[in-house]
Structure formats: structure tokens, C-alpha cells
Amino acid sequence: MGSSSTTYALDGAVVVRLLSAAILGGLVGAEREAADQPAGLRTHIAVALGAGLFGVISTLGFDEFDQRRADSTLQADVTRVASNVVVGIGFLGAGVIFRQGASIRNLTTAASLWTVAAIGLACGVGDVTTAVVATVVLVASLVVLRRVRSFIRRRWTDTTSQLRIWLASSAAAGPVLEALDGLSDVELTEVDIETGSDGTVMTTQLRGEPPAVRQAVAHVAGTAGVEAVTQE
């Protein structure tokens, strides 16, 4: 690729760089595919391969312009190729992010696409070892930390649950209101009380750490006059 004329010769080093980019991107894409994410195996391979090709072009494609300043005023800044890959992948990553209610989804997949582009670019410029290390760290964080994330969410992340409390036909709401007012470690919203032909139903929301919410639900369910409690 470095000659001043068009060549069709197969450069073994270029092939290794591109295959490395595709394989490493595929490893990350396989994990995202298994997690049923919108950007999976093929998308990550395409991103890594494209970034790798840009890397190859930036390092080998401009050799014919590599001249001494004394001989020519034409200069090529190959670092601009890498910077534009970073900018371009931002649009692709933004395309997989969407908002659902109060939560934002697919941020991890967008981040993996961004990192895979860097991995492919590293392969393209010939730094395959660094790309391998980055791939191992990325895949490990996606796979291993998934269980750590689940544990943290189950144990410490605040959750909001809606409680519906059914009272016995002859039961008063006072004891249940006292039980709700005495709850600790959870936040309680306004309580709605509806009385109909099927009896009295109280509705409220609890917010707190999962163990505290479960304990609060059990406490309310054991209050005198409560027939059933559902948690949504």
C-alpha cells in the first residue's frame, strides 16, 4: 500500500491486522449477542474491521506523501484518521441508545461499540498486543461484572414497589396506617384508600433497598385485618 502506484499484491501484515480486528471485535460481539442486545456479533465485527481498515490506511496508505518538508509543502497528518473514527463511532453508538420511561437502555452496548472501534484501530496500526489486552479486559468486564452488578442491584440499589393491600370486610384502616407509618428504612408515598363492594383496598408505593422493602411488605402483611398484599 505504500508504493506510489496502484498495487494488487497481498500484504501479509495487513491481513493479520484486519483478521485480528475482526476476531477481537467478534469476541465482544458474541457476548453482546448472548445478552440479546441490538448491536451484536455482526455489528461489532463490522465496527472493528472498519476501524482496523482506517488504521491500516492511516499507517500505510499515505507513504507516497511522506516526503521531506524541503521537497514539498504537501503534508499528511495521519492522526486525523484516528480522531475521525472516534467521532464517527459516536453517531453509531448514539443510534443504539434509547430512553424507556425513566431509564436509559443500551448504554453498555454503545460503550462496547466505541471500545471495539479503538480495538480495531489498534490492530490496524499494528499494535495487536494492546488490542488483545483491551479485548480481554472488556469481555471480562461484560461477563464477570454482570453477576456483580446483579448482586449490587439486589442488595443495595433502591427500588420502587407499588403495594396493594386488601382488608377484611370488618377491618379498619387505622392499624394498617399505623403499620405503614412505623416503617423504617423505606420511603412511603401518599396512601390511597378505596372502598367498594369487594371491600377496602389501600394503595401506596415503597422505595428503598430490596431487603428493606421485603421486610416492610412482610410487616404489613402480618398486620391485623389484612387479607392479602400484592407487590408490583
User: For the segment 173-188, what is each residue's pLDDT rounded down to a tens digit?
Assistant: 778 878 877 777 777 7
- The pLDDT assigned to 64 comes to 55
> Which grid coordinates belong to 195?
372502598
The answer to whether residue 110 is domain-embedded is yes
Element (H, E) at 104: strand 103-105
- Sequence-separated (6 or more) residues with CB below 8 Å from residue 40: 29, 30, 32, 33
Residues 30 and 143 in one domain: yes
Residues 75 and 118 in one domain: yes
Rounded CA separation 104/50 (Å)? 28
The answer to whether residue 1 is domain-embedded is no
- The pLDDT assigned to 165 comes to 85
Q: Which residue among 119, 140, 155 closes a domain?
A: 155
pLDDT tens per residue across span 199-215 = 788 888 878 777 778 88
Residues 217 and 181 in one domain: yes
Residues 109 and 203 in one domain: no
71, 47 Cβ separation under 8 angstroms = no
Residues 179 and 114 in one domain: no
Q: What is the mean pLDDT of residues 106-114?
A: 83
Residues 110 and 200 in one domain: no
Residues 137 and 165 in one domain: no
Closest to 231 measured CA to CA, from 198, 99, 208: 208
Q: Is 75 exposed, middle or buried (0-12, 13-18, 19+ CB in 10 A)?
A: exposed
Residues 145 and 174 in one domain: no
Q: What is the CATH number of the domain that holds 190?
A: 3.30.70.260
> Which grid coordinates belong to 178?
399505623
Q: What is the mean pLDDT of residues 69-96?
A: 70
Please state, as a whole number, how many other Cβ atoms lie within 10 Å of the Cβ of residue 209.
16
- Sequence-separated (6 or more) residues with CB below 8 Å from residue 39: 29, 32, 96, 106, 109, 110, 112, 113
**Number of domains composing the chain:** 2
- The pLDDT assigned to 9 comes to 67
182 is in which domain, residue-wise?
159-231
Rounded CA separation 22/48 (Å)? 6
7, 17 Cβ separation under 8 angstroms = no
DSSP sequence for 14-79: HHHHHHHHHHHHHHHHHHHHHTT-SS-HHHHHHHHHHHHHHHHHHHHTTGGG---TTT-S----TH
Q: Which residue among 103, 126, 155 closes a domain?
A: 155
Residues 62 and 110 in one domain: yes
Percentage of residues in the chain with pLDDT exceeding 90? 4
pLDDT at 69 over 50: no
pLDDT tens per residue across span 37-64 = 777 888 888 889 888 888 887 777 666 5
Rounded CA separation 28/134 (Å)? 11
Q: Which residue has the higher pLDDT, 142 or 71?
A: 142
Rounded CA separation 16/221 (Å)? 65
